[in-house]
Amino acid sequence: MTDIIQLLPDHVANQIAAGEVVQRPASVVKELMENAIDANATSIKLIIKDAGKTLIQVIDDGKGMSATDARLSFERHATSKIRSAEDLFDLHTKGFRGEALASIAAIAHVELKTKRDNDELGTQITLEGSEVITQDIVVTPKGTSIAVKHLFFNIPARRNFLKSNNVELRHIIDEFHRVALAHPDIAFAMYHNGSETFNLPNSNYRQRVVNIFGGKTNEKLVPVEEETEILKISGFVGKPEFAKRTKTEQFFFVNNRFIKSPYLNHAINSAFEGLVKEGSHPSYFLNLTVDPKSIDINIHPTKTEIKFDDEHTLYAILRSSVKHSLGQFNIAPVLDFEHDKNLDTPYNYKDKSQASAPIVEVDRLFNPFTEEKSSKGFSSVSYKKEPAQSWEGLYVGLESKGTKTEHDFSALEFESEEQTASLFKDDKHVEDTHSTYQFQNKYIVSTIKSGMLMIDQHRAHQRVLYEGLLKNMTLKETISQQLLFPLKLQFSSNEMPIISQLKEDLEHTGFVFSGFNDETLEITGVPVNVQESEVSIILEQLISDVQQEVPDSNFSATDLLAKSMAKSLAIKTGQSLTRLEQEHLVNSLFACKEPSISPTNRATFITMSVDDIDKQFM
C-alpha cells in the first residue's frame, strides 16, 4: 500500500486559513486598518465600493515596506511583530499572526503599493489568488496602499453567502468606528462609492466620539476616569436618559483594541441599575489600560474576546468608577443637600410604578364562577371598532408625565349602543359581557363560551396599531398634530439616510418635516397621539430596525415602518390597564383583519377550551 497523506499546497492552506480570518468585507477592513495603525500611520483612508464587494482599499502614511518585505508580507506566518513565543505575552501591536495578508491574497485580487520614507522609489505588487502576477518599481508616496478587489472571486459559495450591500456596509462601518474610536490621535476618512461618509480629523477622545455619533452626543457624555495599580479607565458613559434600545453605542477598548466582554458589560449595567428602563442600554465608550502581560488575546484570529488574569477585580473597579461618575455628575441620586430633584430620575421610572397601582380594583369584578353579568356601569358602553381611531383612545393610557391612567379616560369617545364585531356584545358565544381580567400586567384573560381566552396585551396592541398605520400609509390618510415649536433632532451621518429614505412613508403616518440636512432633522408635525417626547424614541427604534433588517425581495419599507412604529407605541408588558382599556383593546383586536398574530408573526392570544381545562382536572 502506498502512503496517502500529502502536504496541502500553500495556496490551498492559505484559502483554508482565509476562511477563519476573512468572513466578510468588514474583516478585510479590520485587518488592513490595523496593519496601518501598526505601521504608525497618522492618517488612514478607507475607500469602499459596493459595500466592499468590488473594492476595499486602505491608504496609510505609515512606515511602508522595503521591496523584500513587501513580497514577504504575503507569505503565511510572515510578521514583523513578534519574534518568539514570549513576545505573545507582551503585545503592543494589533497584528502578530502574520496571517492576514496571506489569507486576503488567497481569495481576492490584491494590489499593494508601498514606500519607506527614505527610499527614492516604492514597490508595487499585484496578486491573484496567492499568485504574484506583477512586481514593479513605482513612484508612490510614503506609506502603504492596499487595494483588495473581487473578494471571494475564487470561492463563489462564500461570495453568494454575503449579505445585501446595506448589511455588509453596516459591518464595515462598525469596524471603522471601532478602529477610529480606539485611535482618536489618528485622522481617518471613509469613502463609499465615491462619496465621503466619514471625515475624522485627529482629535481628543470626546471629539472623536462626537464626530462619529453626531453633535447631540456631546451633551450626553459623562466622563469616567480612574487609575489603580492594575487598571486605568478613561472614557465616557452616556447619561441614563439617553440609553438606547440598541447596543450600538457600547464600546470597550482594552489597550486600544476593541473587545466584547459580556462580563464587563454586566459591570456597567449594574452601575446603571435602577437608572435606565428595562430593555434600554446605556451608551459607553471606555478605554481600559492594563499590563499587556495580564491579558491573553490569542484566542481566535478574529474574535474580539480576550482573557483577563483578574476579571473579578476589573469588574469591581469598573462598576464602582462608573457609579462614582454618575453620582459625581449628579446623574444618580447621591447624598447631596443641594441635590437637584430634576436630575434625580430623568426618565419615566417613577411614573411606571404609579401606573401599576390600581390592580386590586381589576380583580374585584372577575368571578369565573358566576354567570351573572357584572353591572358596574359599563354594560351600556360600547366602543368604536375602527382600529385607526380606536388606537388613539388606547394610547391615552400611555401618557407618561405624571397623569394617571384613569383620569385620561374622560377623553375617550364612546359610540353608543350600535356596534359591530364586538367580542363582548351581541355575540352569542360570549357569556359575560365585561369579564376581562388583567393577569401579571401582561395578559388579558377573558371567558368565551367555549372556554378561556388569554391575550398578550403588547402583541395585541401592536397588531391594532400596525393595521391602523398601514391603512393610513396606503390610503395616505394623514392626521397630524402641529407642534408649537419645531422639534430639532440630531442624527449621525449614517442614520440620516435611513430616515430620508423613509421620509414619504413617515409623512403618511403624520410626521411633518420642515428641515432635512446632514445631521439635523426639523419636525413641525407628529402623528396624532404621538407625544413630542416620544418622537426620538420612535425614530431611533426605526433606525435600528432598518439597520437590523436583512432586506430581501419581500422587503417593504412601508411595512417595516408600520411594524417599527407599532412596536414603539404599543402598550408595554408590565403596564396596568383599566377595565375599559382592556375591553377596548380586545374589541379593537378582534376588529383587525388578522387578529391572531402580531405584526412579527407571533401569537396574540391563545384559547383554552373547556375540554382542555376539564382534562387538566381529570
Query: Which of 24, 97, 113, 584 contacts ligand ADP by CB under 6 A?
Result: 97
Query: Which of 73, 123, 325, 433 contacts ligand ADP by CB under 6 A?
Result: 73
122 near ligand ADP, rule: CB under 6 A: no
29 near Mg ion, rule: CB under 5 A: no
Q: Which residues of 413-445 are buried (b: 16+ CB within 10 A; e: fewer)?
A: eeeeeebeebbbbeeeebebbbbbbbeebebbb
Query: Which of 80, 280, 289, 330 contacts ligand ADP by CB under 6 A?
Result: 80
**Nearer to ligand ADP by C-beta: 78 or 479?**
78
In the numeric block, which cell numbers belong to residue 442?
A: 401582561
Residues in the interface with ligand ADP (CB under 6 A) total 23
Radius of gyration of the chain (CA): 30
**What distances in angstroms separate CA 320 from CA 271, 323, 327, 328, one per listed residue?**
7, 5, 10, 12
Alpha helices of 442-502 — where are they, by DSSP H?
457-475, 496-501
60 near ligand ADP, rule: CB under 6 A: yes
98 near ligand ADP, rule: CB under 6 A: yes
What is the β-pairing status of strands 250-254 and 284-289? parallel
Closest distance to ligand ADP from the beta carbon of 41 (Å): 7
Kindly report the number of other CB atoms within 10 A of residue 196's CB atom: 10
**Nearer to Mg ion by C-beta: 35 or 509?**
35
Closest distance to ligand ADP from the beta carbon of 58 (Å): 7
35 near Mg ion, rule: CB under 5 A: yes
Secondary structure in 3-state letters for 381-423: CECCCCHHHHHHHHHHCCCCCCCCCCHHHHHCCCECCCCCCCC
14 near Mg ion, rule: CB under 5 A: no
35 near ligand ADP, rule: CB under 6 A: yes
Closest distance to ligand ADP from the beta carbon of 169 (Å): 23
564 binds, among ligand ADP, Mg ion, none (CB under 5 to 8 A by kind): none
96 near ligand ADP, rule: CB under 6 A: yes
Site string for ligand ADP, 206-235 (x = CB under 6 A): ------------------------------
95 near ligand ADP, rule: CB under 6 A: yes
Query: Angle 490-491-495 (CA atoms, 0-180°, nearest 5)?
Result: 160
Closest distance to ligand ADP from the beta carbon of 179 (Å): 13
Query: Which of 14, 27, 57, 79 contacts ligand ADP by CB under 6 A?
Result: 79
Provide CB contacts within 8 A for 237, sequence distance 6+.
Answer: 221, 222, 224, 268, 271, 272, 282, 283, 284, 285, 286, 322, 325, 326
**Nearer to ligand ADP by C-beta: 42 or 440?**
42
248 binds, among ligand ADP, Mg ion, none (CB under 5 to 8 A by kind): none
Closest distance to ligand ADP from the beta carbon of 202 (Å): 18
Name the one residue in this structure whose C-alpha cell is 398578550: 456
Query: Which of 100, 106, 306, 586 contacts Mg ion by CB under 5 A?
Result: 100
Dihedral (Cα; 243, 248, 250, 252), 10-degree rounding: -170
Which residue has the closest beta carbon to Mg ion? 95
Please state, in angstroms and rounded to a whole number, the distance separating the CA atoms of residues 524 and 532: 10
Among the listed ranges 94-102, 466-474, 547-555, 573-581, the one in contact with ligand ADP (CB under 6 A) is: 94-102
In the numeric block, which cell numbers belong to residue 280?
A: 434600554
Residue 375 φ/ψ, nearest 5 degrees: -120, 45
Where do the DSSP E strands lie in 166-231? 187-192, 195-200, 221-227
217 binds, among ligand ADP, Mg ion, none (CB under 5 to 8 A by kind): none
Please state, in angstroms and rounded to a whole number, the distance separating the CA atoms of residues 100 and 27: 9
Angle between helices 165-182 and 205-213 (to 10 degrees): 170
| Stated length of the chain | 618
390 binds, among ligand ADP, Mg ion, none (CB under 5 to 8 A by kind): none
Among the listed ranges 35-43, 223-231, 272-280, 369-377, the one in contact with ligand ADP (CB under 6 A) is: 35-43
Query: Which of 18, 29, 39, 561 contacts ligand ADP by CB under 6 A?
Result: 39
Which residue has the closest beta carbon to ligand ADP? 95
Residue 214 φ/ψ, nearest 5 degrees: 100, 155
98 binds, among ligand ADP, Mg ion, none (CB under 5 to 8 A by kind): ligand ADP
Query: Angle 157-158-159 (CA atoms, 0-180°, nearest 5)?
Result: 90
Binding footprint of ligand ADP on the chain (CB under 6 A) = 31, 35-36, 39, 60, 62-65, 73, 78-81, 95-102, 144
Binding footprint of Mg ion on the chain (CB under 5 A) = 35, 95, 100
